[in-house]
């Protein structure tokens, strides 16, 4: 019985997704503070996703837990007869606060390009960081790693420029 409790704890069920959708429907977006507020009740389906012992975790940590929960929710859509699985909620690139929008609500090319540009900018930063590491350790890494990463960096930078118009 204990194994079952371990495997079901923190599992994103359709009921958990429904709670997040309900919160999202209030203002059209989902915010970590709203998720933490909903989860504060021990009766909430979201309660188990958070550490409530203030000695272990404070409000700021719970906001990070809420962001993690939001980013874990997936959805599927059929595109050209193929099923595509992706995150349901994505960061709004133009918000100062941490706000998330459901992908199905993105309807304009401008909005989609803005979201893609924000994601690509984060990716480009990670590739540039990795490239720096590869250059420093080029002597002990397999041949061509840094060159391949540079090619990836250029490709991402080109796509980012396209998204930014």
- Averages of pLDDT over runs of 10 residues in the chain (165 residues) are 43 91 90 93 93 84 90 84 90 75 92 93 95 94 95 97 92
CB 36 within 8 A of CB 62: yes
Dihedral sign, CA of 51, 53, 56, 60? positive
Cut 0.85: pTM above it: no
Please tell me the predicted confidence (pLDDT) of residue 152: 97
Please tell me the predicted confidence (pLDDT) of residue 7: 36
Please tell me the predicted confidence (pLDDT) of residue 8: 46
Is 65 strand, coil or helix?
helix
Supply the DSSP symbol for 142. P
Instruction: Name which of 7, 32, 5 is nearest 20 in CA terms.
Output: 32
Please tell me the predicted confidence (pLDDT) of residue 74: 85
State how far the Cα of 148 lies from the Cα of 131, in Å rounded to an integer. 9
Please tell me the predicted confidence (pLDDT) of residue 54: 83
Q: Which residues pair with 79 in a beta bridge?
A: 82
Please tell me the predicted confidence (pLDDT) of residue 60: 86
Please tell me the predicted confidence (pLDDT) of residue 163: 94
| Cβ neighbourhood burial of 78 (10 Å; 0-12, 13-18, 19+) | exposed
* Maximum CA extent, the chain: 57
Q: Measured at the alpha carbon of residue 20, what is the angle toward residues 75 and 28, in degrees to the nearest 5?
A: 90
């Amino acid at each position: 019985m204990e194994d079952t409790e371990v495997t079901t704890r923190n599992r994103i069920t359709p009921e958990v997704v429904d709670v997040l959708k309900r919160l999202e429907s209030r203002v059209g977006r989902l915010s970590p503070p709203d998720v933490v507020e909903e989860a504060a009740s021990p009766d909430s389906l979201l309660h188990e996703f958070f550490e409530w012992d203030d000695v272990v975790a404070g409000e700021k940590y719970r906001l990070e837990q809420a962001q993690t929960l939001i980013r874990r929710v997936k959805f599927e859509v059929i595109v050209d007869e193929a099923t595509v699985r992706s995150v349901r909620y994505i960061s709004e690139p133009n918000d100062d606060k941490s706000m998330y929008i459901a992908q199905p609500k993105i309807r304009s090319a401008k909005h989609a390009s803005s979201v893609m540009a924000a994601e690509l900018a984060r990716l480009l930063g990670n590739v540039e960081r990795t490239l720096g590491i590869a250059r420093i350790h080029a002597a002990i890494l397999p041949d061509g790693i840094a060159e391949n990463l540079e090619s990836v960096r250029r490709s991402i930078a080109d796509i980012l420029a396209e998204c930014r118009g």
